[in-house]
Every structure is written in C-alpha cells, then in structure tokens.
Structure 1
Amino acid sequence: MKRRNFLRNLGFTGGIFALPSVISETNAAAFEKENDLVVKGKVMSEGKGIANVAVTDGTQVFKTNNKGEYQFTVKENADFVYISSPAGYAFDHENYIARFFVPVKGKRGTLNHDFVLTKLNTNDLQHNFVVWADTQMISASDCEQLKATTVPDFKKLMQQYPINTLFHGIGCGDLVWDKFEFFKDYKEAIAMTGVTFYNVIGNHDMDLNSRTDDYSAETFKEQFGPTYYSFNRGAIHYVVLDDVFFIGTAKKYIGYLTENQLAWLEKDLQMVSPGTTVVVSLHIPTFTGAPKRNKKEEDFGGTVSNRKKLYSLLAPYKVHILSGHTHFNESWEDGNMMEHNHGTVCGAWWTGPICGDGTPRGYGVYEVNGSDIKWYYKSTEKETNHQLRIYPKGYAKAYPEEVAVNIWNWDVKWTIEWFEDGVSKGTPEQRVAKDPWAIELYEGPSLPQKHKYIEPTLTEHLFFIKPSANAKSIKVKATDRFGKIFEEAIMIS
C-alpha cells in the first residue's frame, strides 16, 4: 500500500501530521531553556578566585577563568558538578570523606555554587597516601575488626612520619560486602583516621537490583558522590574510575570502562602536561597474572576488557594504576606504566590474618616526592619492616625437603639472596605455588569456618630453598627496588 493511501485509511491528514514539527520549530529553544540547568560560580580561597581549575559535569570539562569563575549548561543526565581539586589546597571533606562536588540531579534553572578551598600551609610536593583495598564488611563483627585493628594501625603508622606530613587515603572499592547499612561503619572508621579518603566503587558496592549499569551506583553516589573524577596534589594528577560494569543480573559484572568515562578522561587529561605522573585508582585490576598461573582464560569479571583503550589515553604520562578486587598482592610493569594490585584490608574476608596468597591483611603505603613515588606494603599490626615470611623446612607439604619464603610485595626489580650458616648461596628458586599457611588455614570444603568457599590461591611471590643435610640456619635477604633491605632467618636444627 502506498504511504499516502495508508495514512488516509487511518484517518490522518497531512495537516495534522505537520503540526508537531511546527510546534518543535517554534518552541524548541524555549522548551530546552526551561529544562536546562545553568551552573555558575567561583572556585576560590580567602576571597580570591583560583584560575585554571577543571570543573566538570562528568561529560564536559571546563577551566575557571583568571577570576576563578565558571559557567556552563549542564548535560541532561548529570548527577553532579564537581572540580578537580587543585594542588596546593587542602581537600574539602565531610567527616573525612572527600567532598568536591555539588549534586545537580533533577535541578533546572540556574544554580549558583562556589567551591571554597583552604590553602595549605605546607608544600604538597612531598606527601603520602594509603590504599585500602576491600575493607568488605558483611557483619557488625567485621566492622568492629576494621575499627579495632586497621584504624589504630594506620594512626600509629602516621606517627612515624614528621608531624606535618600530608596524608590522604584511597578506598579502592568493595568498601562493604553488599550490606549498605555498613557504609555508616566504613565512614566512621575513616573519620577515626583523621585523613581524607577518596573512594572507588567496587562490585560489592553496587545496587544489585538495578535494571542496568546506568543505575547500579545510585546508593554509592548518595554516600560518596561521583564514581569517576580527578584531583591533584603536588605534582601528581590523581584519577578515580569506575570499571565495574553491572550486566543486569544480581552479582554479575565485567571489568569494563564505559565510553562516557573514557571520553571524560580524554578531556580531563588534556589539561595535564605530558610527562606528568598520573595515579589511576579503580577496583578491578586492568590486568593480572592469574589466568596464566591458573592456566585458564581471562575472566571477564577479573580484569578490564577494554584496558588497551585506557592505556592509549595514558601513554603520554608516567602512570601508576592502583587496584584491588583479587584479594592477592601483585604488580606488573611495562614501559611508562605500573599496576599495583593490592592485598586486602580484610585479609580473607575477615576470617584470618592473611589473604589467599599468603599476603598479610594490610594496605599499600605510597611516599611521594615531586613526581617520584616510592611504596611498600603495610601489614596490619606488624612493623613496617615485616616484608617476608620464612616457613620451617617441610612446612610446605608439597616440598618436604625445602624451606618456603613468601615475599608478598616482590616485583621484578627486587633482588633475593639466601644464606646457609652465614654463607651466601645465591638466589632462591622462584616458583608458582600456594602459600603453605594459606593452605593450612583455607584449603578444603570445611575451612575456614566463617566462609567455607575461601581457598588458597597460586602466587608468583614464593621462593624455595633446599638446605644441605647439616645446615643449622637459613637467612633470606630481600632488597626492594628502592634499595631497602629486609632480612629474616630461621633455625633448621
């Protein structure tokens, strides 16, 4: 049937069909203005505007003018307008949860908002930060453990630095374990530290009843603000991303960065000079060695599928990627980029003192000097020099004649040497294996009692020594990439 006859048979006339287009043409501009939100204001300190501060709605990125002013029309689906906090200023916070945004969801007309910052009284080119990965509380008991162990451990650590040392924190996702009522306890723990934390959304921080990924972060946003953003301290540009993509079925997700985020990041980085050190925090690691160790294909929920697109954007910079999620400690380095996948604050989900790879429960500590960063792993309730563990001969049941050594923060630039009765014997043998203590604590269907599905995991940071028949003592000397030496010894007989 021809189109004209079809319309006539339906009883419509050409004039009526033309009417909506006339309305659209005459009233479109007015309609759009009525439904727009224009946001304007200043980024300022002590009454003076701060120029060249990035202001964004999560899609567009603008700079404040030389008076610190900004003004733009917010994109329709924006939840927040926020700044990339500039270097040289204290981080604004609400009970030490970073507050760098104003909610705009559903607002129309004109919104006036000034971001008022406090200038630091110390140079921030030198500063430190910690990475708390997977605090992951599912019970009140878990929350109490966080407050009773990790918080005082961190406070004690800070006391070992000069009194004016700047610290901030990064909560690297899985702040809770699907129990959103414990966000309150997480926030209380952060407030107890007295350190401002920026937070990353994890797969256990998502709304599992949401229809699509677009709505999976509603509760997180109410608690912590945007899921992707940036900030600056000293010479470092920090970026936080949301790489947990919910696929609409409870507890199903993939590691994936949306186009919205990548497009925003591209604009954000246009304001960062090439060669700058950029620290990117996300929950799911972009890459790990786990598939190779386990001789399995890559798990879509275990790494970021489109990571190469991220790497391309980061190519002009010196990059450190910070991640969690796996409950093991590992790093890799390639060219301008290094990823630090952290052991967890909760260990094996608050069931024991170590993660499945034998890494003690704890957190990463990073010391920044200009554009350079040094780091170490801080085991909860242990001294900072606790960086390796030697097991007695035969404790690793699969290797009854050998001594096993776990050096959890090892990377390819460490050097390891072992001594028998004071005599150097060279480098111990590195081997992919399971930590023997983790086997004892977690292996099998009945262990651990609290969460029986936890199992030990293969790791590459295990080393093995075969002492001679008459050996009396074994010492291991581990030197990290910064030249710091750690030693542990054990008596054989």
Structure 2
Amino acid sequence: MFKKYYIVSMLFLSTYLSAQTVSGYVYDDVNRNGKKESKEKPIANVAVTNGAEVVLTDKNGKYSLPISNDAIIAVIKPSGYAIPLNSDNLPQFFYNYKPEGSPKFKFSGVAPTGKLPKLLNFGLYQTNEPDEFTALVFGDPQPYTLEEVDYFYRGVVAEVEGIKNVPFGLSLGDLVGNDLSLFNPYIQAVKKTGIPWYNLLGNHDLNFDATEDKLADETYEAHFGPANYAFNFGKVHFIVLDDVLYPDPRDQKGYWGGFREDQLQFIENDLKFVPKDHLIVLAFHIPLSEPDEDAFRDEDRNKLFKILQDFPNTLSLSAHTHIQRQDFFGKKEGWLQEKPHHHYNVGTTSGDWYSGKLDEKGIPISVMRDGTQKGYAFIHFNGNQYNVSYKVAGKPKEHQMELFAPKVVAKVKRTKAGVFANFFMGKEGDQVQYRIDGGVWKDMEFVKEQDPSYVALVYEWDTTEQLMPGRRSSDPIISTHVWRGNLPANLDLGVHTIEIQATDMFGNQHKATKTYKIDSL
C-alpha cells in the first residue's frame, strides 16, 4: 500500500513540477540598471515565449507561461525598444531555466540555475527605431582552430569593426567547426564589430554526444541563449531557428534539415501577434532548397509554408553550403501564394573553409566552389521591402563580379574562347550585357557551368611543381550565376577593353571591365 501511495505521489510531484508557471513583467528600464522599480512603466502587448507557446503582456506589463525543468523564457523585442546587451554585445532577451543544469557532455552546457525566480522580469529600453535600416549578415565563420579565428577576425571582422548606421548583425550558423571551446574566441572576435550581434545554430555547433535533438544545443544555449527566438525591428519581424535535426531521425546518424513540432508551434504562435503587412524574415542554417540531395525534410518545409500563407512579404536566409545562390519557391515547390518566396543562401565569411593561396596579409583568399569570393551581406530594409548587397571581403564594394577572358587571342583566327562573368548576386533571368571598346551592348548567355576563373585557381595547385603556402581549394562545382559572351578576334591588333554591366533582382546595376590583346605571329 505504501509503495503504491509513494508511486502515485511521485507521479503527482513530477506532473506538478513539469506544469510550473513562470510570471513576470516587461517594463521600460529607464535607468538601465536591470531592476524593475516602482517609477518604471510597464509595457503592454509585448510577446513572451517558452519556446513553443507565446503570450502577450497585459496592460500592467505582466505575463504568465507554463514552464518545464528544461526551458528558456524569452521576450520578443517589440519595435521601438532595445534589448540589453552583455559586455560581448550579445542581446540578453532570455532566461535559461535548468534547475539541474545541462546533461554532462564533452563540452559543458548550462550550469544548474536553481529555483525559478518568483518574478522573471525583462527590462527594455525605448529607442528611436527607423523603418529604414540595414542589417549585417555573416555566413559560416566556422573556424576549426584559433588560427582560423584569427583569419576570420583579420579577414572579415576587421573591415567592419566599429561600423556605423547598422543596428545589428547576425551569423547564420556554423559559428565554429565542431570544437565548441572556440565559441568564446568567436564571440571575442565578432564583438569588435561594436554592434549587437545575434547568432543561430549550425550543424558544426552541436553537442554530438547528445542522443536527442532537443539536447544537441546545450553548449550553444549556455553561450547564446535559445536556438529559436524572434524579434522585431521597424516593420520587419525576424524569426531565428535551429533547422538542424540531430541525430538524423531516419537512421540516428548525422543530421537532416528540418524542424521539430515544438518549433513549428512556436512559429505559428509567434506570428499570431505580427501584423500581416509586415515583412517576415526567417533565418536558419540549412537551406530550404535541395539542389543536390534530400537535405531538408519536405513535410517540415510544407508546414512552414502553410504557416506563412497569409503573410505576403517574406524572405528566408541560410548559409551552410559555402556557395551563394538565389532560390524562389512557387506553387510547384509547395508555396501557397502567387508571389514566389525568395530564399537567399548567403555566401560565407570562411569562404571555402579558409582554403586557397594566402593574400598579402597571410590570410587565405578562400574563394567558394561556385566562384563566389568570400564576404558578407548587407540587407537594406525600408518598411516591408528589402534590398540585398553582397560585399567581397578585402575588395571595394563595387566589386560584384569576377571576369574571365583569355589574355591574348590570334587575329582573325576563329576561337571558341569567350568572356565569362561570375555575377555573385546574380540568378538565371538577370540581364548581363557586354561590349567591346565602347561598342553596342549585347546580352550575355546564362550558362550552367563551372566558373573558369575558379577552375584556374584550382589547376594552379594541381600543376605547380613547388608547394605553395595555404591549402588547395575544393573542386569546382556548377555555378548558378555565370554568363558567357563570344570574344571577337577580328578587331585591330592591340589591347581591347571588355565592359560588363549586370542588373540584379533589385534593379541595382553593377559594372566591371577587363582587357584582352589581339596579336599575330
């Protein structure tokens, strides 16, 4: 009888503990001391989440949510307010609640947090937040060593250090390369941008000794907070997600792109409080597109598209592939609106995993396999509209394409040599034109080929008779943004100028030039 009573009591206690409620206030922290004081006003209608459910604060700024013994409570920043930052410029919009701490993994997670506070309050700061702003986006920093952290800092971060008129930045996962002890060196590097910095989880940021997906982000959570969260800025609503299923639910080996059910619940519940005319920007690591293999669980993508069907203005961002491409999802791909959904797979700050020859600073040039040169993106927002520009690291902002042409061709003789333009932000259907010596503009042909300028870089490694500093680049792949034009050989002897002009999907026009010589034997 006692044993039966004990079991029932323990079940009741377990249910009670798992059904705790957390309450608190969201308030205007005027003096920015992190403490709610009597004179500080509450903020109503602010969303707060436990990772699945989302509620709004009442007129007194109060919220209540159910909470488990493994949860993160997070406030969803409203427009017109700022989030407190820690000394590393990381937004502090969350509270880790793990009374027993994280499981024991190779890389430590969250230390035991103890009892739940009686009130869990979030202080925000009022700020003048414009509807027109620019965000800075990094793909895959992914250093495997401290040396590569240094490459990341000197090759990328240093040129945006102290950047002005950019209110925040975001890294799209693979913050490090499997060694999670590099999280802190990564943080110390990226903090030097001097702006608030958001992060998301990649497949190389995981606790690989976890046996279930929900526990694979424990070390990430200890450093950055929730792997799924949201915030508002102007008329843009950002949803940041962990789309790495680990272990792969198909065979418990490796990983797969997709979402758990609680994540989809979070997205759906979060969007209930977002105006339909706002721009929804989703950011995650693994792309929604599957150009080569079954990289993303189709049913999850379809569920996501269904949740988004009443929001006409959307954009999604990813990295992971170490290339750059623009994808558009229409009804054939499961999108449920007339206007296709734009998915931007952003080029990486590590380029081709820090490979290639070393530049004058001793940093690998690290051109990506599709010929995109390593760099980062600026996304310019105006209300619910956006415009993207890509910045090649170490080059002027005008450098938007790489041209390839022979240095010399024989006069009059027929040649199959052509001029190639790798337009980094381009996509099939964009207008790319060329002309020789100021002549008539002609359309170039979009080709699904490897970028010959990148092929030449790789062949240099394969044909050298002496070792070169650095590391051989990866094999080239078919690029989604290369154009070709015929090269005339019937012009006068001498040097001739090739001009290229390319117009991207946002109407921005970019130009580049190259010369070649016509000679005779």
User: Which TM class, normalised by the smaller chain length?
Assistant: 0.7 to 0.9
Q: Which residue number corresponds to residue 7 of structure 1?
A: none
- Measured in 1, the distance between the counterparts of 2:218 and 2:255 equals 16
Report if the CA contact (8 A) 2:428-2:446 is conserved. no
Q: Which residue number corresponds to residue 211 of structure 1?
A: 211
Structure 1 vs Structure 2 CA RMSD: 2.7
Q: Which residue number corresponds to residue 70 of structure 1?
A: 63
What aligned pairs does 1:18-417 form with structure 2 within 5 A after superposition?
Answer: 20=4, 24=8, 32-33=15-16, 36-45=19-28, 46=30, 47-74=40-67, 76-94=68-86, 95-106=88-99, 108=115, 110-120=117-127, 122-155=128-161, 158-159=163-164, 165-247=165-247, 252-288=254-290, 290-291=291-292, 298-300=293-295, 306-317=300-311, 318-334=313-329, 335-352=339-356, 353=365, 354-393=367-406, 401-412=417-428, 414-417=430-433
Q: Could you tell me which of 416, 421, 424 is aligned with 2:437?
A: 421
2:489 aligned with 1:488, yes or no?
Answer: no
Aligned length: 457
2:485 aligned with 1:465, yes or no?
Answer: yes
Query: Percent identity of the aligned residues?
Result: 27
Report if the CA contact (8 A) 1:58-1:78 is conserved. no
- Measured in 1, the distance between the counterparts of 2:153 and 2:497 equals 39
SS at match of 2:304: helix
- Structure 1 109/36 Cα, relative in aligned 2: closer, same or farther at 3 Å? farther
Letter aligned with residue 340 of structure 1 = Y
Q: What is the CA-CA distance between 1:117 and the residue it aligns to?
A: 1.0
Question: Per-residue displacement from partner, 1:91-143 (whole Å, max 9, x unpaired)?
Answer: 322211222101112255653221111111x3331211011010000112111
- Measured in 2, the distance between the counterparts of 1:215 and 1:468 equals 61
- Measured in 2, the distance between the counterparts of 1:481 and 1:42 equals 44
Q: What is the CA-CA distance between 1:167 and the residue it aligns to?
A: 2.1
Q: Which residue number corresponds to residue 9 of structure 1?
A: none
- Measured in 2, the distance between the counterparts of 1:477 and 1:251 equals 47
Deviates further, 363-372 or 448-457: 448-457
Q: What is the CA-CA distance between 1:481 and the residue it aligns to?
A: 3.0
- Measured in 2, the distance between the counterparts of 1:325 and 1:115 equals 33
- Structure 1 349/202 Cα, relative in aligned 2: closer, same or farther at 3 Å? same
Q: Which residue number corresponds to residue 162 of structure 1?
A: none
Q: Which residue number corresponds to residue 500 of structure 2?
A: 476
Report if the CA contact (8 A) 2:43-2:61 is conserved. yes
Report if the CA contact (8 A) 2:173-2:320 is conserved. yes
- TM-score (norm. length: structure 1): 0.86
Report if the CA contact (8 A) 2:355-2:472 is conserved. no
Report if the CA contact (8 A) 2:169-2:195 is conserved. yes
Report if the CA contact (8 A) 1:438-1:456 is conserved. yes
- Measured in 2, the distance between the counterparts of 1:130 and 1:304 equals 30
- Measured in 2, the distance between the counterparts of 1:336 and 1:250 equals 34
What runs of 5+ residues in structure 1 fail to find an aligned partner? 1-15, 160-164, 292-297
- Structure 1 426/232 Cα, relative in aligned 2: closer, same or farther at 3 Å? same
Q: What is the CA-CA distance between 1:215 and the residue it aligns to?
A: 1.6
What runs of 5+ residues in structure 2 fail to find an aligned partner? 31-39, 100-113, 330-338, 357-364, 409-414
- Structure 1 109/428 Cα, relative in aligned 2: closer, same or farther at 3 Å? closer
SS at match of 2:188: helix
- Measured in 1, the distance between the counterparts of 2:443 and 2:478 equals 21
- Measured in 1, the distance between the counterparts of 2:143 and 2:230 equals 27
Report if the CA contact (8 A) 1:374-1:482 is conserved. yes
Q: What is the CA-CA distance between 1:440 and the residue it aligns to?
A: 2.9
Letter aligned with residue 309 of structure 1 = K
